[in-house]
Amino acid sequence: MKLLVSRYWGNLRSNFWFLPSAMAAAAIALAFGAIAFDRAVLSERFGSVGWAYSGGAEGASAVLQTIAGSMITIAGVVFSLTLIALSLASSQLGPRVLRNFMRDTTTQLVLGTFVATFLYCLLVLRSIVRSGDVFVPHLSVTISVGFALASLGVLIFFIHHVSVSIQADRMVAQIGDELLRAVDRLYPDAASPDDAPPGEGRPDAAVPDAFDQEARVIGSPDDGYVLRIDTDALTRLAEEEEAILRLERRVGEYVVSGAPLVSIWPGDRLTGDGDVEDRAGSAFVVGSQRAPEQDFEFTVIQLVEIAVRALSPGVNDPFTAIAAVDRLGSALCRLAQRESPPGTYFDDEHHLRVVGRPLAFPEVLDAAFNQIREYGRPSTAVTELLLETLATIAGFARRPEDRAAILRHTDMVARGALGGLPEYEDRRAVQIRRDTVIRILEE
């Protein structure tokens, strides 16, 4: 259940209608409340206050009509500017960064401000009585003027916000910060097994020898990318069935309907009534697009895509690629100092229940540098930066498998550059940086 709530909340945050709709509903409630207050208390007395609106019915109608017309026009301008920003970001930085724009609360607040002001003015306008028992909601009209002034300031701020948000360096920095937060969230500092909370355990716990022969596979109910996995629910299921579950897919991988999703041992726990299969399947959230909440590799891929697009002949912007590599290096340095997420999960009695597939440092390093190395081979600046970044990461890496992965990437970068760079001095500079990485790894 909590996975579904998290998924729907993430979807709400990533669209343009939820927050503006909530603000519009608040404006409607405020309009009815202000009109009722005007009718009950302040209609005439508030009109005599010096700074408040004190005109008649015709003047109030004209003010409200002007504000309402202006707000809906400006809302259209804001929407157009937003589409232009999305188009530029998609063409230059890649379609996957659009999620960051659509999750931008500032844009949603701006749209909501103009829509809410428009609706408020319309509702107040319909309450004005021009003949017979004349009624002018002085307080409500005054509030609408205040909203109009506030909307003007919001418009100026939005123009500045759009001009800043479409800058490549700003977007790279934003995704880089998101990547660092993902490291802190998904790769916590090392802790001893005795201090681990119930449900998490030693990554070296062994599964039974007969697991592969006796386990049975539970297939995926849907096609798509694995977005989230509720390991707590799987642990409870395995404890109730006195079984061991092994995840056959990790977050971020694509799964075909019916393909292996999780294996259960002993296999006779699958009785044929579908209860265990349904409970296991409900612990996985599968969708059409990858999401960053549990998918660490997805955020890495966003920076990689920006770098690869910047290195393409059509864009030819190595400086943006350099900025992306710098951010990747920062995250990898921090990741090299962290323990991988627990590969095994235990119940309260410390019995092994779930065996996962954590994303280790060498796999993240492959995702970060493989494509950039390939597309950046003709660029001396990018090649040298890759080696310098690997040297920096090597200074933080302590695990033998991590240092071996760094050495492997160093050799691949150097071989590609030595075969692709025509200038002798460029090849010599690459060789010097390669030797630096090796020297650091040998210390």
Decide which of 211 and 91 is more confident. Answer: 211
User: Greater confidence, 40 or 22?
Assistant: 22
Q: So what's the pLDDT on residue 201?
A: 45
Query: 41 and 138: one domain?
Result: yes
pLDDT at residue 12, as a whole number: 65
Residue 92 is encoded by which pair of tokens?
A: 């230059």
Looking only at the bridges linking them, the beta strands covering 244-247 and 352-355 are parallel
CA nearest to 368, candidates 415, 414, 340, 336: 336
245, 270, 287 - which closes a domain = 287
For residue 349, being part of any structural domain is answered with no
**Residue 199's pLDDT band (cuts 50, 70, 90):** very low
Label residue 203 by pLDDT band (50, 70, 90): very low
Is residue 351 situated within a structural domain? no
Q: Residues 276, 308: one domain? A: no
Shared domain for 271 and 307, answered yes or no, is no
Containing domain of residue 257, as a range? Answer: 194-287
Q: Within this chain, do residues 142 and 213 fall inside the same structural domain, yes or no?
A: no
Residue 309 lies in a domain: yes
Region 328-352: what's the mean pLDDT? 87
> Could you give the CA distance from residue 154 to residue 142 in angstroms, rounded to a whole number?
19
Which has more pLDDT, 58 or 100? Answer: 58
Mean pLDDT of the chain: 84
Residue 229 pairs with which residues in a beta bridge? 284
Please tell me the predicted confidence (pLDDT) of residue 190: 55
Q: What type of residue is 333?
A: C
Return the higher-pLDDT residue of 423 and 13.
423
Q: What is the CA radius of gyration of the chain?
A: 29
For the packed helices 361-375 and 400-420, what is the interaxial angle rounded to 10 degrees?
10
**pLDDT tens figures, 371-395:** 999 888 888 889 999 999 999 999 9
3-class SS letters over the chain: CHHHHHHHHHHHHCCCCHHHHHHHHHHHHHHHHHHHHHHHHHCCCHHHCCCCCCCCHHHHHHHHHHHHHHHHHHHHHHHHHHHHHHHHHHHHHCHHHHHHHHCCHHHHHHHHHHHHHHHHHHHHHCCCECCCCCECCHHHHHHHHHHHHHHHHHHHHHHHHHHHHCCHHHHHHHHHHHHHHHHHHHCCCCCCHHHCCCCCCCCCCCCCCCHHHHCEEEECCCCEEEEEECHHHHHHHHHHHCCEEEECCCCCCEECCCCEEEEEECHHHCCCCCHHHHHHHHCEEEECCCCCCCCHHHHHHHHHHHHHHHHCCCCCCHHHHHHHHHHHHHHHHHHHCCCCCCCEEECCCCCEEEECCCCCHHHHHHHHHHHHHHHCCCCHHHHHHHHHHHHHHHCCCCCHHHHHHHHHHHHHHHHHHHHHCCCHHHHHHHHHHHHHHHHHHHC
Q: Which residues contact 375 (CB under 8 A, 6 or more apart)?
A: 307, 308, 311, 312
Residue type, 52: A
Query: Does residue 17 sit within a domain?
Result: yes
pLDDT at residue 38 tops 90: no
Count structural domains, the chain.
3
If asked whether residues 283 and 309 sit together in one domain, one would say: no
Same domain for 211 and 122, yes or no, is no
249, 307: one domain: no
The answer on 245 and 321 residing in a single domain is no
Q: What is the pLDDT of residues 258-275, one digit of tens each?
A: 899 999 988 887 876 778
Q: Kindly state whether residue 261 falls inside one of the protein's structural domains.
A: yes
**9 and 149, same domain (yes or no):** yes
Among 67-81, 94-108, 136-150, 212-226, the least confident range: 94-108
Q: Residue 348 domain-assigned?
A: no
- Residue 6 has, within 13 A of its CA and on its CB side, a CA count of 15
Q: What is the pLDDT of residue 267?
A: 83
pLDDT of residue 204: 43
Most confident of 43-47, 95-99, 143-147, 286-290: 143-147
Question: Do 162 and 200 belong to one domain?
Answer: no
Q: What's the angle, vertex CA 38, arms to CA 32 and CA 43, rounded to 5? A: 155
CA distances from 377 to 145, 370, 390 (A): 60, 11, 15
pLDDT band for position 2 (cuts 50, 70, 90): low
Confidence of residue 192 (pLDDT cuts 50, 70, 90): very low
Choose one of 125, 146, 166: the last residue of a domain.
166
pLDDT at 195 exceeding the cut of 70: no
Q: Can you tell me the distance from the alpha carbon of 195 to that of 19, in angstroms, rounded to the nearest whole number?
A: 41
Does the pLDDT of residue 363 top 70, yes or no? yes
Q: Percent of the chain at pLDDT above 70?
A: 89
Who wins on pLDDT, 190 or 102? 102
Q: Compute how many other C-beta atoms are within 10 angstroms of the C-beta atom of residue 435.
A: 14
pLDDT score recorded for residue 191: 38
Q: Could you identify the residue written with the tokens 């097994």?
A: 193
pLDDT at 198: 43
**Position 350 in a domain:** no
Examine the domain organization and report whether 83 and 140 are in the same domain.
yes
pLDDT tens by residue, 269-326 = 787 677 888 888 888 988 888 888 888 999 899 999 999 999 988 788 889 999 999 9
d(CA 310, CA 134): 65
How much is the pLDDT for 193? 41
Q: Sheet containing 224-229: which strands, arranged edge to edge?
A: 254-255, 224-229, 284-287
Residue 261: CATH number of its domain: 3.90.1170.30
Same domain, 301 and 422: yes
∠ CA 381-384-388, rounded to 5°: 130
Which residue among 118, 147, 166 closes a domain? 166
Residues 210 and 204: beta-carbon distance below 8 Å: no
Between 300 and 42, name the one with better pLDDT: 300
The pLDDT confidence band at residue 440, using thresholds 50, 70 and 90, is very high
Model pTM score: 0.79
For the stretch 222-248, pLDDT in tens is 899 998 888 888 999 988 888 899 999
| Percent of the chain with pLDDT strictly greater than 90 | 35
Residue with the larger pLDDT of the pair 40 and 74 = 74
Question: Is residue 69 included in any domain, yes or no?
Answer: yes
